[in-house]
Every structure is written in structure tokens, then in C-alpha cells.
Amino acid sequence: MTTIQFIGTTPDDLIREIKKEIIPELKEQLKEQFQPKEPTSYLTRNEVCELLHIDLSTLHRWRKDGTLIAYGLGNRIYFKRNEIEELLNQNKLK
């Protein structure tokens, strides 16, 4: 960021410098920091079983022991796709 001296600077010069130097740089910094969030994608029990190639009983056991977190809505159970992918990345073999 550049230095602006206020001594002998008119208000119009100050505004021009702010528009020319500071605002574009600030826009770039904000663009890098604030990316739009992707909407959360939810999977059903069957979709999780297909994705992980496991049985419903295994999914139920993982849910009970806290390996996976389930989210209920009415009588339905859903899992967040990003949490499933995160679990897979944590357990990847080296």
C-alpha cells in the first residue's frame, strides 16, 4: 500500500488518490478473502452406502459410535457430503 501525504494535498487530490490506489487494492484483498460459499449438499443413507461401498448396518454403527454425524429432518436422515469427503481424506493411506 502506498503512503499518502496530507500536507499540501487538496481534498480533490486525496479523493483521486484513494480511488486510484487504495480502492482497487482493497477490492483485490477482499476478493481473495471472501469467496462465495457453496451450498451444503446432503446425502441420504442409501447414497452414503453407495458412495462408501458399505452396508446399512455399517452406516448405522458408524452413526452410533460418532464416526459419522447424521442430521434428521422429520423421519428422514441425511449426511453432509463435505463431512463424508473429509472423513475419507482423514483416513487416506499414505
- Is the pLDDT at 5 greater than 80? The verdict is no
Closest C-alpha among 37, 87, 40 to residue 66: 87
pLDDT digits (tens, 9 = 90+) for 24-67: 888 888 888 887 777 889 999 999 999 999 999 999 999 999 98
Q: What is the mean pLDDT of residues 62-82?
A: 93
Query: Which residues does 55 contact at the CB level (< 8 Å), separation at least 6?
Result: 49
Q: Cα 51 to the chain's mean position, in Å?
A: 21
- Is the pLDDT at 91 greater than 80? The verdict is no
pTM of the prediction?
0.58
